[in-house]
Structures are given as C-alpha cells and as structure tokens.
Structure 1
C-alpha cells in the first residue's frame, strides 16, 4: 500500500486539495468551454480529437515538467483514452457532473501530487 508515502500532513492535504480542485478547472475548460466552442463549427469527432490532443499535451507542460512519470509514453496513452472517454461522456450526458467526478477519482487514485513531486513512481518507471 502506498499510504506510507504520505509521511507528512502537508502532502496529504495537498493531495486531497488537488484532487478536489483540479477536476473542476480542467473539465470546465477542456470539456466545457473548449468542446462547447468547437462543436458549433466542427464535427463532434474532430472536436473530441482536438480537445483531447491539447488536454494530453497540457499535462507535461502544465503539471509535470519535472515529473519523471511524465516522461513515460504510458501517461500519454492513458491521458488520450481518458480525454476521449470524458469528451464522449460529456456529449452523451450534456453535463460535466460525471466527468468531474470521474476525474476526481482518477486524481485520488493515481497519487497525483506525489507523482509530480517524484515521491511516487508508477510501476512502469
């Protein structure tokens, strides 16, 4: 179990804060603002591919410039699949509720803050 990696209360607080806040900002932009804006002029699938591409590219530049895990091709496969699934879910439900909830579960489960700080390295590293 990775709970031993949280050797300080600060890390635990940062992990929880990030997991609660990050999905709102990312999903409001990538699925809410961007997809809504693109679907007016472009096809649904082109909108999904475009928004997913930039969602994937944003992660190493915005979140993980110094993260060892962001150098793994596994991350980009995972982010691509997540971006596509979340975009389809948004189009199908016409709501960000389940997309934000799913993103929250992902951020809690993948130890995001610990990964960015190189405290936790995914098994493929």
Structure 2
C-alpha cells in the first residue's frame, strides 16, 4: 500500500509478467506496478531516477512478453552468427591476455631469490596454468 511505502516497509517481490507500470502525476518520484490484481507502490529519489526505473521495467516486461510468445508460437530465434563470432573472438582475446600475464609472471617468479616467495609464486603459476588449460 502507499502507506507502507511511505513508512519504508520492504517486503516480497513483484512478478513482472503481464505487469502494468503506472506513474503518479502528483508526485514526480513515485510509480506503481499493478499485477495479479495487486498494486505495488515505489518511490525513486527524484523524477529522473523514476524515469530510469520505469523505462528499465517496461523494457524488461516487453522482453519477457516476447520470450513467452516465442515459446508458444515458434522456437525462440537463434543468436545471430555474427554475435556468436564476436563473443568467441572476445573470449579468445581474454584468454590471450591471461596467457601473456601468466608468461610475465613466470619470468618474475623465476627471478625471485627467496625460496619461500618462489614457492608461493609457483603455486599461483600452477593454478593459473590449470585455468588456461581448461580453456
């Protein structure tokens, strides 16, 4: 209720599927979400923050609505080939960065004089190499 919102009572979660966002014209920082015959009242810091919340919530509701329609009528569209290629390329670039950093760390560990520090460095190197080999 609006009274609970004013008192700062926090509770539960709001299901966004089929939800409707409402904006209060009297107060530029409050908005409502109505779903399942219940109305939830929210308050942002100011009108700008309220606008960001409302847009993000509307986008989320629309995205989930499209996803539901795909599952009922036809399979969801596959990721575009270019998007997959971009992600693979990005993952490969991160792997190469990690390989380069482990190589530099290997040189630094080999130059350590203190046996205890060298041993600690070698443990880190071993774990890093295991991570690289998993990729």
Q: TM-score, normalised by structure 2?
A: 0.31
Higher relative contact order (CA 8 A, sep 6+): 1
Question: Could you say which structure has the higher strand fraction?
Answer: 2
Decide which structure has the larger Cα Rg and report it: 2
Question: Could you say which structure has the higher helix fraction?
Answer: 1
Q: TM-score, normalised by structure 1?
A: 0.33
